[in-house]
């Protein structure tokens, strides 16, 4: 399982779920492509227009704090984001990401390395390319390499199934067979 | 080594003799809570190939976010939920107007000490006020629990917070928790359970404990639990029918951190835009003019909150140009507040009384700010754009007393 993509830098801590996906859209069930149009709307309105498939977000600590809204994860996934590398994640966002099979990696060393490349705050698309090897627990940026701890086994099972919905579907199927 | 409260509660919910922090277990909730998001959850549930919910007795749904619905889409959303509730025979359904899920769940006896409450809402931590573990999860996970009756949980480490001293007059539980969030930070309790203790905690009412457990979500807490005592027992007595067995932390439990605060000198606090941990003593603020004062929500919409605010505004008028929005947390709160004359005092002062609901807290519905407006709020989040508009809006969080005093003055103050 390897991910390769362009690097978006969100040089901020505590980017909350309202910035990622505004509350006003949460009670109107929007299809995936519509959700994607609102991704990061209140943080960087240009992001959803410029983001590409396989892009990787690199950000500070406590990313995704706030609401339990799952659209904060799915809007990014639908917009094409393949992975998020952060100093840390808020627990609900982290859990929702695994349940939606979006790669989330806590690797403060890689974040420091990338943050040092710029003085600017906020959102920017960098020139960097990143490679993530989930099985090995490695991030590569050019000749630099960083390690991150592997996920818990249960989280990995859910992720490998393609998310909790599919994982549950399989369990239900097994149950009905038995 | 002894066990913390969360270790004991998760051990019980997972049917294991004992568990320890760091371990992953499968746990089954006593109740699983959801609200207007239940239609989306039921859609995922069906997509999973599930036909029947695992236990209709354990599912709790209260409609509270877009109440009453403002348009066709939101009305349809509610209709889909009612149909699902009927088809599945879900026992604990509370329709529009009964109140906010986190208020209604305990009011109707759905939390017992020592239990695990899972909820598809980030403020599910509120139920820690009842010596239970309230843990927030997402929609897909809620659908999975509806189908399977359990989910995986990593047993968290615990931070113990000991509160000492006696609050000065005019300083409230809301000031305490805002101060703690300012000290500990927005991620200071991320992935952790928090246990409250100390003489100040012993003297706190259930409502005050709910405010503190509720807002603990804003320091990242997975659960925020108060110990069981006579106050909990008395509050639950008329509401909970079945017998229950409280759990207690062991004397020699292992805490990752123990934090101790003496709060006798604490002053009214304000969380300034746009982060909940951007907390300052009110007196350090300059003159901040406000357009809206919001009283209510799952954080501070209870009877004592309305009492405090109504006594402050009694016989006075709110400042010209200011809107004072009052959202009682539940029908029960509203009924009592009517009986006791709190609502009358608020209305006479110029307040707009709304239906018990989450209202404008999340900007999804009602009470939305216009560009450039500022709001003093008793709610729980001051994120940019939170109240529906991000253009130069500012949200300041404070106690109901500060909200009421500010509505009278037209700027943020706790002076009455």
Q: Could you read off the pLDDT of B257-302 as tens digits, one per residue?
A: 999 999 999 999 999 999 999 999 999 999 999 999 999 999 999 9
Instruction: Say whether residue B143 is in contact with chain A using an 8 A CB cutoff.
Output: yes
Superfamily of domain B5-261: Aconitase, domain 3 (3.30.499.10)
Closest by Cα among A102, A163, A94, A133 to A4: A133
Residue B377 has what pLDDT?
Answer: 98
- Characterize A78-102 residue by residue with b for buried, 16 or more Cβ atoms within 10 angstroms of its Cβ, and e for exposed: bbebbbbbbbbbbbbbbbbbbbbbb
CA distance A106 to chain B (A): 13
Which residues of chain A neighbour B118 with C-beta distances below 8 Å? none
Domain ranges of chain B: 5-261, 269-409
Closest by Cα among B411, B217, B395, B414 to B320: B411
pLDDT at A27 over 80: no
CA atoms within 13 A on the CB side of A45: 3
Residue B15 has what pLDDT?
Answer: 96
Q: Could you read off the pLDDT of A34-93 as tens digits, one per residue?
A: 999 999 999 999 999 999 999 999 999 999 999 999 999 999 999 999 999 999 999 999
Whole-angstrom CA distances from B24 to B14, B138, B151, B153, B160 are: 10, 18, 10, 6, 22
> Is the omega angle on the peptide bond into residue B68 within 30 degrees of 0, that is, cis?
yes
CA dist., res. B260 & res. B249, Å (int): 17
CA dist., res. B385 & res. B369, Å (int): 9
Which residues of chain B neighbour A162 with C-beta distances below 8 Å? none
Instruction: Say whether residue B40 is in contact with chain A using an 8 A CB cutoff.
Output: yes
Q: How large is the average pLDDT for residues A109-121?
A: 95
Among the partner-chain residues B74, B122, B220, the one whose CB lies closest to the CB of A62 is B220
Residue B137 has what pLDDT?
Answer: 97
Q: Does domain A2-177 have CATH number 3.40.309.10?
A: no
Structure tokens at B281: 């003593």
The answer to whether the Cβ–Cβ distance between B190 and A90 falls below 8 Å is: yes
Per DSSP, what are the bridge partners of residue B117?
B31, B134
Which residues of chain A neighbour B190 with C-beta distances below 8 Å? 62, 88, 90-91
Residue B335 has what pLDDT?
Answer: 98
pLDDT at A135 over 90: no
Whole-angstrom CA distances from B406 to B118, B202, B285, B354 are: 36, 30, 13, 19
- Beta-carbon count within 10 A of A116 CB: 8
Q: Which residues in chain B land under pLDDT 50?
A: none
Question: Which residue of A17, A32, A65 is the best one to mutate when testing the B interface, meaning the one whose CB has the most B CBs within 10 A?
Answer: A65
| CA nearest to A166 within chain B | B48
pLDDT at A178 over 80: no
Contact B84, B90 (CB under 8 A): yes
CA dist., res. B145 & res. B364, Å (int): 26
Q: What are phi and psi of A128, to 5 degrees?
A: -75, 155
Q: Which fold has domain B269-409?
A: Aconitase; domain 3 (3.30.499)
3-state class of B198 per DSSP?
coil
Residue B228 has what pLDDT?
Answer: 98
């Amino acid at each position: 399982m390897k991910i390769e993509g362009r690097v978006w830098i969100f040089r901020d801590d505590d980017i909350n779920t309202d910035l990622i996906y505004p509350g006003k859209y949460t009670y109107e069930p929007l299809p995936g492509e519509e959700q994607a149009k609102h991704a990061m709307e209140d943080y960087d309105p240009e992001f959803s227009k410029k983001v590409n498939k396989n892009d990787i977000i690199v950000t500070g600590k406590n990313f995704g704090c706030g609401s339990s809204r799952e659209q904060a994860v799915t809007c990014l996934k639908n917009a094409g984001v393949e992975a998020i590398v952060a100093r840390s994640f808020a627990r609900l966002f982290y859990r929702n990401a695994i349940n939606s099979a979006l790669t989330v990696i806590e690797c403060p060393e890689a974040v420091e390395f990338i943050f040092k490349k710029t003085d600017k705050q906020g959102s920017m698309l960098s020139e960097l390319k990143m490679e993530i090897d989930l099985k090995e627990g490695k991030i590569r940026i050019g000749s630099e390499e960083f390690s991150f701890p592997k996920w818990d086994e249960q989280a990995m099972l859910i992720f490998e199934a393609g998310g909790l919905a599919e994982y549950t579907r399989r369990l239900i199927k097994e149950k009905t067979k038995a | 080594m002894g066990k913390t409260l969360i270790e004991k509660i998760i051990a019980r919910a997972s049917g294991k003799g004992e568990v320890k922090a760091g371990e992953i277990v499968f746990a089954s909730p006593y109740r699983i809570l959801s609200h207007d998001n239940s239609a989306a959850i039921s859609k995922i549930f069906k997509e999973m190939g599930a036909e029947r919910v695992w236990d209709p007795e354990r599912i709790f749904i209260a409609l509270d976010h877009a109440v009453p619905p403002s348009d066709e889409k939101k009305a349809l959303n509610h209709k889909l939920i009612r149909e699902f509730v009927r088809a599945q025979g879900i026992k604990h359904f509370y329709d529009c107007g009964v109140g906010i899920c986190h208020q209604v769940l305990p009011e109707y006896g759905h939390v017992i000490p020592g239990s695990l409450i899972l909820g598809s809402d980030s403020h599910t931590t509120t139920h820690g006020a009842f010596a239970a573990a309230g843990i927030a999860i997402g929609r897909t996970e809620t659908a999975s629990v509806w189908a399977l009756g359990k989910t995986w949980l990593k047993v968290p480490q615990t931070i113990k917070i000991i509160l000492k001293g006696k609050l000065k007059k005019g300083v409230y539980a809301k000031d305490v928790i805002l101060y703690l969030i300012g000290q500990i930070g927005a991620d200071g309790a991320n992935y952790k359970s928090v246990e409250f203790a100390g003489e100040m905690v012993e003297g706190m009412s259930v409502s005050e404990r709910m405010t503190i457990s509720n807002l603990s979500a804003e320091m990242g807490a997975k659960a925020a639990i108060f110990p069981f005592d006579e106050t909990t027992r008395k509050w639950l007595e008329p509401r909970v029918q079945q017998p229950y067995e409280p759990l207690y932390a062991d004397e020699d439990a292992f805490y990752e951190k123990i934090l101790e605060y003496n709060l006798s000198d604490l002053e009214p606090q304000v969380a300034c835009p746009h982060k909940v941990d951007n907390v300052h003593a009110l007196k350090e603020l300059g003159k901040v003019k406000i357009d809206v004062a919001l009283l209510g929500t799952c954080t501070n919409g209870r009877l004592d909150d309305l009492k405090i605010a109504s006594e402050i505004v009694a016989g006075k008028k709110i400042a010209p140009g200011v809107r004072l929005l009052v959202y009682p947390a539940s029908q029960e709160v509203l009924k009592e507040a009517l009986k006791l004359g709190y609502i009358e005092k608020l209305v006479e002062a110029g307040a707009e009384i709304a239906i018990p609901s989450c209202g404008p807290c999340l900007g999804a519905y009602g009470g939305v700010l216009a560009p450039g407006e500022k709001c003093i709020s008793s709610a729980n989040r001051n994120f940019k754009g939170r109240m529906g508009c991000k253009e130069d809006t500012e949200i300041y969080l404070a106690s109901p007393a500060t909200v009421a005093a500010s509505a009278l003055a037209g700027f943020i103050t706790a002076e009455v």
